[in-house]
């Protein structure tokens, strides 16, 4: 790992050195002959800067490209347990989503249901049972019921389901997929006390007390964040929780925005996204999106528990990313999204005002196209 990062750094340095040599090229000699020395030096610096930044940008894209190609199923297909499970969740979610529409179309989703059962069979044969498999079976069960209620002939699917269920017979646990009934009343009752002030009082907190955050409280915040939406409910978000002071200091040493307060944080969360849940080129940015959404939920969850937090950017070059992963054993299939520093808040303290743009500036109501 480290060697790769060093090699990359060396490549950038080589490109800078290359610029120094430009004076020896025909263009360099021409400019040297016809322009004043100050201007030649300025041009040389610009060329060197351009090469260095472009090379860095290009190598960063290549880094992302390689990671996505290797760990998602975009080019490899579902060749691992995690990838196959992601395909299964994606497929069963298509069915449960269909059943949650205002007027589901009778007969919808037959090819998907067949494909899903086939993937479930592969999973059972290769990797055995998993929760995703149980959930998928429950969805297909409900799907068959829905189709039968609408007099759709789906014997081929229900027979296959039956056969599959027989193979899983010894298992007593049940799946949780399908649809769940909710009422407006219960949603209203639950959101009744949530006022605008909940949102207005969330700040990036850069002052924490010495009091450690209890494990229970950390777990509660994670539980709350778990309801974050994600593409086809594939839930790529992962989180590494650091409470040990050495581990926290190590993580923060790679991050450039925590000076003066990071060391006070009782907990550092490293939010990541598991690339193996993504299936094609179109999803190449989904890890950042879903991981970012998860991070926001976690920030609000911490806020709802009276804890302070500050999101910490992970806008780094590949070399730093590699070094941090290696230092903290972040699995290779995970994309680092950001860190979050959190802790108990003092009785009274200052936050940056961070004024916001007016809604009118950031919004366009589309009235015609
Ligand atoms: C992805 C992300 C990365 C951030 N990185 C840092 C950081 O490295 N250091 C820091 O002090 N604040 C960081 N912030 C916090 C922002 O400065 C802050 O959210 C913004 O100024 C708005 O202020 P508020 O969060 O108090 O409403 C980050 C915020 C986001 C969303």
Rounded Cα distance, 165 and 143, in Å: 15
Q: Which residues line ligand 1 (CB under 6 A)?
A: 203-204, 206, 257, 310-313, 338, 351-352, 354
| 270, part of any domain | yes
| 264, part of any domain | yes
CA-nearest residue for atom 29, ligand 1, is 311
Distance 288 CA to ligand 1 centre (A): 16
| 179, part of any domain | no
Distance 267 CA to ligand 1 centre (A): 17
More confident residue, 137 or 163: 137
Asked if pLDDT for residue 13 goes beyond 80, the answer is no
Q: Are 195 and 151 part of one and the same domain?
A: no
Asked if pLDDT for residue 18 goes beyond 60, the answer is no
Alpha-carbon torsion angle 220, 224, 227, 228, nearest 10:
-110
Asked if pLDDT for residue 28 goes beyond 60, the answer is yes
Q: Are 211 and 323 part of one and the same domain?
A: yes
Provide mean pLDDT across the span 201-209.
97
| 331, part of any domain | yes
Pocket test for ligand 1, best of 208, 260, 300, 310 (most atoms within 8 A of CB): 310
Distance 204 CA to ligand 1 centre (A): 6
pLDDT of residue 239: 98
Asked if pLDDT for residue 318 goes beyond 80, the answer is yes
Q: Are 196 and 275 part of one and the same domain?
A: yes
CA-nearest residue for atom 13, ligand 1, is 312
What is the number of other CB atoms lying within 10 angstroms of the CB of residue 109?
23
DSSP 197-266: HHHHT--B-----SPPPPHHHHHHHHHHHTT---GGG---EEEEEE-SHHHHHHHHHT-SS-TTTGGG-S
Distance 355 CA to ligand 1 centre (A): 13
Q: Are 215 and 125 part of one and the same domain?
A: no
**For the chain, how many structural domains are there in total?**
3
| 139, part of any domain | yes
Provide mean pLDDT across the span 78-96.
94
CB neighbours of 313 closer than 8 A, spacing ≥ 6? 255, 256, 257, 338
| 361, part of any domain | no
Rounded Cα distance, 162 and 141, in Å: 9
Q: Are 148 and 297 part of one and the same domain?
A: no
Q: Are 267 and 197 part of one and the same domain?
A: yes
Q: Are 193 and 295 part of one and the same domain?
A: yes
Provide mean pLDDT across the span 311-337.
97
Pocket test for ligand 1, best of 311, 339, 349 (most atoms within 8 A of CB): 311
Q: Are 218 and 257 part of one and the same domain?
A: yes
Helix (H, G, I), strand (E, B) or coil at 103: coil
Among 136, 167, 198, give the residue marking a domain's end.
167
Q: Are 101 and 243 part of one and the same domain?
A: no
| 352, part of any domain | no
Residue 243 lies in domain: 184-344
pLDDT of residue 23: 52
Q: Read off the pLDDT band of 41 (50, 70, 90).
A: confident
Tokens of 332: 């290779």
Q: Are 35 and 98 part of one and the same domain?
A: no
| 304, part of any domain | yes
CA-nearest residue for atom 22, ligand 1, is 354
Q: What share of the chain is helix, strand, coil (3-state, %, to 5)?
A: 60, 10, 35
Distance 310 CA to ligand 1 centre (A): 6
CATH code where residue 286 lies: 3.40.109.10
Tokens of 294: 């998860």
Rounded Cα distance, 280 and 115, in Å: 17
What is the layout of strands, in order, in the sheet containing 267-274?
237-242, 267-274, 334-344, 307-313
Q: Are 110 and 231 part of one and the same domain?
A: no
Percent of the chain at pLDDT above 70? 92
pLDDT of residue 19: 43
More confident residue, 129 or 223: 223
Percent of the chain at pLDDT above 90? 72
Provide mean pLDDT across the span 95-106.
92
Tokens of 198: 């909940």
Residue 11: φ, ψ to 5°: -65, -40
Q: Read off the pLDDT band of 26 (50, 70, 90).
A: confident
Q: Are 89 and 23 part of one and the same domain?
A: no
């Amino acid at each position: 790992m480290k060697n790769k990062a060093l090699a990359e750094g060396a490549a950038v340095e080589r490109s800078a050195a290359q610029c120094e040599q430009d004076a020896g090229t025909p263009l360099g000699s021409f400019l040297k002959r016809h322009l004043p020395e100050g201007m030649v030096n300025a041009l040389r610096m610009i060329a060197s800067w351009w090469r260095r930044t472009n090379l860095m940008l290009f190598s960063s894209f290549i880094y992302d490209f390689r990671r996505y190609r290797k760990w998602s199923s975009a080019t490899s297909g579902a060749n691992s347990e995690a990838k196959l499970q992601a395909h299964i969740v994606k497929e069963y979610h298509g069915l449960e989503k269909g059943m949650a529409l205002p007027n589901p179309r009778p007969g919808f989703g037959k090819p998907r249901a067949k494909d899903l059962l086939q993937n479930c069979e592969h999973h059972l044969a290769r990797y055995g049972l998993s929760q995703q498999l149980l959930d998928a079976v429950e969805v297909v069960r409900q799907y068959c019921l829905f189709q039968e209620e609408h007099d759709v002939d789906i014997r081929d699917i229900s027979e296959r389901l039956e056969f599959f269920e027989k193979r899983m017979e010894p298992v007593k646990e049940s799946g949780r997929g399908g649809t769940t009934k909710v009422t407006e009343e219960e949603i209203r009752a639950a959101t009744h006390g949530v006022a605008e002030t909940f949102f207005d009082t969330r700040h990036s907190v850069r002052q924490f007390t010495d009091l450690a955050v209890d494990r229970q409280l950390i777990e509660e915040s994670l539980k709350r964040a778990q309801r974050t939406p994600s593409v086809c409910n594939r839930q790529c978000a992962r989180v590494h929780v650091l409470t040990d002071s050495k581990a926290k200091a190590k993580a923060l040493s790679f991050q450039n925005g925590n000076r003066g307060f990071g060391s006070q944080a009782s907990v550092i969360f490293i939010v990541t996204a598991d690339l193996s849940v993504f299936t094609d080129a179109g999803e190449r940015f989904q890890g950042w999106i879903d991981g970012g959404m998860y991070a926001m939920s976690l920030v609000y969850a911490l806020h709802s528990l009276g804890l302070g937090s500050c999101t910490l950017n992970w806008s780094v070059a590949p070399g730093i990313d590699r070094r941090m992963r290696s230092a903290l054993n972040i699995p290779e299939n995970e994309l680092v999204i950001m860190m979050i520093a959190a802790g108990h808040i003092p009785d009274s303290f200052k936050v940056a005002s961070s004024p916001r743009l007016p809604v009118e500036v950031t919004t366009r109501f589309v009235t015609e196209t």
